[in-house]
A and B are shown apart, each in its own frame.
Chain A
Amino acid sequence: MNKFAIRTEAIGKQYQIGATHRPNLREALISVFNAPKRYASRLLGRPAKAADDSFWAVKDVSVEIGPGELVGLVGANGAGKSTLLKMLSRITIPTTGRAIIRGRVGSMLEVGTGFHSELTGRENVFLSGAILGMSKAEIRRKFDEIVAFSEIEKFIATPVKHYSTGMYLRLAFSVAAHLEPEVLFVDEVLAVGDARFYAKCINKMRSLHASGMTIVLVSHHMFLVQTLCTRAICMSHGSVLFDGDPLSAIVSYRKSLDEAAQAQSATTAKPQAKARERIHIFQLEPMGEWASDREPYPDSGMKLTFVADAEPNSLVGFRVAVSSIGGFSYYAFYSDPIQVPPSGRITCELQVPELMLLPGHYSIFGGLLKADEVNHFLAEEYLQIFVRSRGPAPAFDNGSGGSDNLFWNRGIWSTSGDMENDRKTQVQDEIVGS
């Protein structure tokens, strides 16, 4: 048997949605008296009355996560991510199946677990640390490190109710980040503080991962999942939709979002025609100089060739979008409507003379659309490029927090050493003039 850090075996959690009906004390007492009868019928193997006002928040999830993996858990709201984490961190109990975890578990499901507003920063470090699972000696040992990380040394003796939100979150995150479990569950808590502190949090996660900790991270921040995780699991309606490389998981997540949006908007929509539509990015060719395959420079261009199958004689269009890994679209190209030939096959080519992208990772989405409806995708495919910096230092690397710019553009500089003299002359002119 291979080594694992976390294994779930068809784990599931069922909730009663009849929140309207909570048994009151009287009914509960009656139910107590009926308990022997219920127990007897269970012994006899008679199934309990199926509750129809129940739903499965998580259903039949079986995954295995190896030691040292950093797994991103993505999915739309209500996909069951948090419920899964809650079961794994023993806050709530599975209805079916089971999970096995090897090693000490720590969970960061919320920033500021155990914090009390009346207590000082120092006191809260100890309180929250103990509740999160650190021993007193451990907290004492790491105390200075925790405070230094949070950067609120000056206010450590002040009750946290006087803290700003940012200070509070920073201290709270620092405590949690200094847990040293073998398995760590993190639920969307990394986005605390300003951009600089955020970058610090991400680096902390990286170093925890590098130290061999197994981490499961829920996030809606796709860029984070893409850049941080070694693997990602996409959940939808309580089950695993995709499990594998982060980028594919993100695509699967986006698809599940689209489907959800479509399902909501199109109760009237006619049932989907047979899925014959498909698109294939046939070729990605350089225009101008490229560093290597799939690695253009900011001023390089590209040529994309598609093959698509669609309903003969229907009117379709192509869309190519260049977007960040996180799904932020920088620009898109829409083709004119095309009449599909009787063969049902179309090929098409797009040339982009200059990408104008800052160095970093990008996705290129090729989509086949219905021409007479807004944003009705028949099929979509993506590929990924990495824009290389021409300079020696990646000073403008996009996405790592170092740059707030969106685009690269060609600029022509000319500098001279005589600026100082010019200005003096100008000042003198003004004096004379007045």
Chain B
Amino acid sequence: MQTQIKEQGAPQVQMNDAAADTTPLLIIQPLRGLVSLQLPELWKYREVLYFLIWRDIKVRYKQTALGAAWAIIQPLFTMLIFSIFFGRLAKVPSDNLPYTLFSYSALVPWMFFATGLSQASNSLVSSSNLITKVYFPRLVVPLAAVLAGLLDLAISGVTLLLMMAYYHRGATAHVVWVPALLLLALVTSVGVSFWFSALNVKYRDIRHVLPFVVQLWMFATPIAYPSSLVPERFRVFYALNPMTGVIEGFRWALLGTNTAPGVMLVVSSSIAVLVLISGAYFFRRMETTFADVV
């Protein structure tokens, strides 16, 4: 059943009511036609978004012995494992960087992306108690789950800077691109999360598929190896993965690797934006049934 809620402002009120009345009318009805993203409404509920992010951050490391140290431990240990198996044993090339730095610089944005995606995809289901009891734009829920990862990103980012200092690697002038690249990672994460979280409400299959998807995705992204290892003829498809652009760009901007990811970034960004917009529409379309299905 296609349904939608419309909020109508004062002009419509005057049509309905001869007396001048500025109270907005809220019209609740099944929808005919296309869904709208209702971005102004989303903006109106920004404080809910803020509080959900705040909650996620507050709660994330409650009752853990190591607390926020987990934000570093996870990428650090992954880096260690990669360094031993790929760096030492398999002798994977690393763009003339120390392999530890090479993999860690990729793991920082990747962990942000992957953790955000995992948290957000389950976010609607785990906040079913909210969804069935109170109204707010549901887009806020996965959005908050991804954004809450920004703190972890900051912590692991600082560690990366320390590591660069240790290896006497100064940042290049391209460093100004880092925020844009992180934004790209954010957009990708949010976009995919919109799809997965909405699907997960109805099809819990997603929850089981997700860890597998994330792992596969990691190997389809140049984290443990440089993209130069990928045969030339596959490069186009390779760039379709937005995270490829993010990781390659990240290494280039921060560590000055030779690969200039220009074209790759354009493709990656376009794909990411496409996923985001389609995800948001899909989400809005599914949203009306969340409370009944979750």
Contacts and interface: CB of A to CB of B under 8 A. Distances in A.
Nearest to A138: B47
A98 B30 CA distance: 7
A118 B30 contact: no
Contacts of A132: 134
Interface residues of B, number: 43
Given A15-B292, A89-B134, A100 B48 contact: no
B165 interface: no
Interface stretch (B51-59, B83-91, B151-159): B51-59
B51 A131 contact: yes
Contact of A100 (B1, B25, B47): B25
Interface string B185-199: 000000000000000
B17 A91 contact: no
A415 interface: no
B166 interface: no
A94 B3 contact: yes
A24 B28 contact: no
Contacts of A90: 5, 26, 28, 135
Interface string B114-156: 0000000000000001111111100000000000000000000
Contacts of B48: 130-131
B17 A93 contact: no
Contacts of A15: 292
Interface string A1-34: 1010000000100110000001111001000000
B205 interface: yes
A94 B31 CA distance: 10
B28 A94 contact: yes
A88 interface: yes
A100 B131 CA distance: 21
Contacts of A119: 55, 58-59
Contacts of B47: 130, 135-136
Contacts of B289: 93
Contacts, number: 121
Interface stretch (A107-115, A238-246, A405-413): A107-115
Contacts of A262: none
Given A94-B29, A96-B30, A101-B25, A25 B135 contact: no
A303 interface: no
A98 B62 contact: no
A183 B202 CA distance: 32
Nearest to A103: B23
Interface string A33-46: 00000000000000
A114 B130 contact: yes
B291 interface: yes
A102 interface: yes
B203 A109 contact: no
A98 to B, nearest CB: 3
A116 B292 CA distance: 23
Given A15-B292, A86-B291, A28 B51 contact: no
A3 B202 CA distance: 40
A202 to B, nearest CB: 22
A381 to B, nearest CB: 39
Interface in B234-286: none
B135 A93 contact: no
Contacts of B50: 130, 136
12 contacts: A28-B202, A90-B26, A90-B135, A91-B135, A93-B28, A98-B28, A100-B25, A101-B28, A105-B135, A123-B58, A126-B51, A131-B48
Given A102-B26, A107-B133, 9 more contacts: A86-B291, A92-B292, A98-B27, A102-B24, A103-B24, A103-B26, A130-B48, A130-B50, A136-B50
